[in-house]
Structure 1
């Protein structure tokens, strides 16, 4: 707590007033942010009262308070802005990766260092709603890019091709076995070989741009692995710096791809404040500039964002357009950064299902989850994790319609594919399946007990 005098915190008091929050409501908002970061706080209205009276919270709690009020007020606040620490004493590491304009290679090396060593300030970081707006140009610092001096290493097409081959291999492993397989290896590769490549001397500007683009793909994969581990604040930081690399490379189409994942990231953590803006900015960049299959991936993202925004008619119309685009497209025409992630038809079907689920249309959600699972090559084994997750979601939609025996059958397929998958999302899905099965058992569904035992065994092995 420190030895600070107990002077009433007028900055915090004013922020709570501007946010129109009672102490009890503010405490609840702080608990939500902490929970997203994996920490269980018992903050209550009495704690808010103490802080307003001048008592200072722990530094990590102060960052949760700042994020909670930033979300409510729609602007980025630091703990010092709220009188929770002295001016200039904000922990610099709390903003690591949430600023665009600094050297992205250096920033990614620092993020990777903290990730490798499992530094709590970063692995437990909360998702920042304010930072989600950075690529939209709302923060004036976005365009302040800095080019580091080239190093002594010379590099060209062969070195770039090697990075692309590595990210392709790591992505295949990730898709089959889950994000926790090889995670530290990918992060270490980013902060060593890939960072060195970005610092190399290139014979042509095209080679330099291609190297930065390849590095952006590795950073994206690191973000995806963090997301698969449930570390959403860390994932967001990787994605933002991946976006910075595409800006350095001058590749607006690849940058749009990062805007797309930032939109999905916001929806997945149930913070959709900027997701429509991100999805629309991404689609606007690629419209008419890429093949129909690639554009379909952006169109379905916008549709899902519209569904989260409650714009049902607009969402359904955009879904139809996405489906038309993917049917007209040639999957072989995808750029490298999109082709890494598998079949566009499967992806469009999956996000179509998620949009219908958000709209409360369980029948259409179930149907499209089924299409997605069937659209992946190799009977799902090449994309084992996502196929298992898709089937788990399809079972949930079947259960929502009262098709209990069918749901158990689908969940059985899902559990089979979850074997060997190391993923926080898989753990969450299996936990959800077991909760549903308890209800089924009470309703006398014979298959539920056997399936629950299988799910319990999976948890003992992988959770």
Structure 2
């Protein structure tokens, strides 16, 4: 299904190219790596529009066959070999991300560890930091924060003196969130401000291709700032940052449906926590529109949570709640 959504002939051309390289033992060049990057971009775009439950087998099959074959080819320069390994690590990262979004957290962690091994073999410290960062966020998301500060610190140490401000902001905000989870609120808020300043400074940075696939650093920093404030039970600031994240992600040519919807649904929860029930319903209505066609465990959990709160709203006489609950139930039936 994922391959069918790719530009016509792209998947077939990549497969033929990889098999020809393996069969002939020919040199792997920059054009071969570019093909893998193009496939990575296409698969990531599909994932962001339609969720981690969509097209997983296509990504994994491409990684196990074509990309694995490519990394076993011959290379005229070690730098090209390193780029091949980094591209393989990025696809392994995506496989882990899809497993996480599908709710298979143990599998996601195994993919992340494989991505870490590949990127270390490639001797790419920035991408290694990127993988450590997602491992830290994963621990926080599944409520196993024991090693998240260590992972966030290790990622930040690798990125220092190597990353441009926009990329560095991603590691600083990861550390902020880990600090909040550890109850170190004042330090967390200071790191949030530092990350926001870095993201603004780096707005026009030329960023690595594996970062640009997931939206802008400013939107990501806003999203994780919101999670940091939510952890600190600062609902007004959490709401503000989720709104900023939603605007940032939705402006990206409509390709980031899932993360836009997740940002809006979380914004609605922060509005509800402050007693703004009608506003929350309006925000959730927008979130459901972005969730349409998204097959994701995270989406299912968000919509289930929304319906749970709407039941309370209906008892309080909130007029918009009943109609919105009907819409949410229809979404659940279509996306279960």
**For the residues of structure 2 that align with 1:157 and 1:380, how far apart are their CA atoms?**
28
Relative to structure 2, which stretch is displaced further, 252-261 or 179-188? Answer: 179-188
Say if 1:373 and 1:380, in contact at 8 Å, map to a contact too. Answer: no
Unpaired stretches in structure 1, ≥5 consecutive residues = 1-150
Judge conservation of contact 1:331–1:344 (CA < 8 Å) in 2. Answer: no
How far apart in 1 are the matches of 2:178 and 2:26? 44
Structure 1 residues 369, 303: closer, same or farther in 2, change over 3 A? same
Task: Please name the residue that 1:260 is paired with.
Answer: 133
Structure 2 residue 185 is matched with structure 1 residue 312:
yes
The question of 1:220 aligning with 2:105 is answered no
Out of 137, 140, 156, the residue aligned to residue 29 of structure 2 is: 156
Contact 2:133 2:151 in 1 (8 A): yes
Q: How do 1:339-350 residues align onto structure 2 when only pairs under 5 Å count?
A: 339-350=212-223
| Structure 1 counterpart of 2:241, from 368, 374, 395 | 368
Quote how far apart the aligned CAs of 1:380 are: 6.8
1:251 pairs, out of 117, 121, 124, with 124
* CA deviation map 1:352-397 (0-9, x unaligned): 0000000111110000000001112547721001000110000001
Superposed CA RMSD in Å reads: 1.4
Q: Match for residue 52 of structure 2?
A: 179
Mapped to 2, the partners of 1:327 and 1:336 lie a distance apart of 19
1:175-221 Cα distance to aligned partner (Å, 9 max, x none) = 11111222111010000001001111111100000000000000000
| Match of residue 21 from structure 2 | none
| Residue 303, structure 1, aligned to residue 176, structure 2 | yes
Aligned to 2:16: none
Find out whether 1:384 has 2:257 as its counterpart.
yes
The corresponding residue for 1:282 is 155
What's 2:12 paired with? none
Q: What is the total number of aligned residue pairs between the two structures?
A: 314
Alignment deviations for residues 10-56 of structure 1 (CA, whole Å, 9 cap, x no partner) = xxxxxxxxxxxxxxxxxxxxxxxxxxxxxxxxxxxxxxxxxxxxxxx
Aligned partner of 1:407 in structure 2 is: 280
Give the whole-Å Cα distance in 1 for the aligned partners of 2:127 and 2:252.
Answer: 30
Larger Rg: 1
1:208 equivalent to 2:81? Answer yes
The CA deviation string for residues 315-354 of structure 1, in whole angstroms up to 9 with x for no partner, is 0010010000001113441112212211111000000000
Q: Residue deviations 1:146-175, cap 9 Å, x none?
A: xxxxx9353111110100010011111111
Cα deviations by residue, 1:263-295 (Å, 9 ceiling, x for unpaired): 001000000000000001101111121110000
TM-score, normalised on structure 2?
Answer: 0.91
Instruction: Give the 5 Å matches for 1:39-438.
Output: 152-378=25-251, 381-438=254-311
**1:443 paired to 2:316:** yes
Cα-to-partner distance string for 1:104-140 (whole Å, 9 max, x where unaligned) = xxxxxxxxxxxxxxxxxxxxxxxxxxxxxxxxxxxxx
**Distance in 2, Cα, partners of 1:428 & 1:263:** 21
* Separation of aligned partners in 2, 1:282 and 1:270: 20
Structure 1 residues 234 and 200: alpha-carbon distance in aligned structure 2, compared to 1, 3 A threshold? same
Aligned equivalent of 1:456: 329
Q: Structure 1 CA distance, aligned partners of 2:44 and 2:108?
A: 16
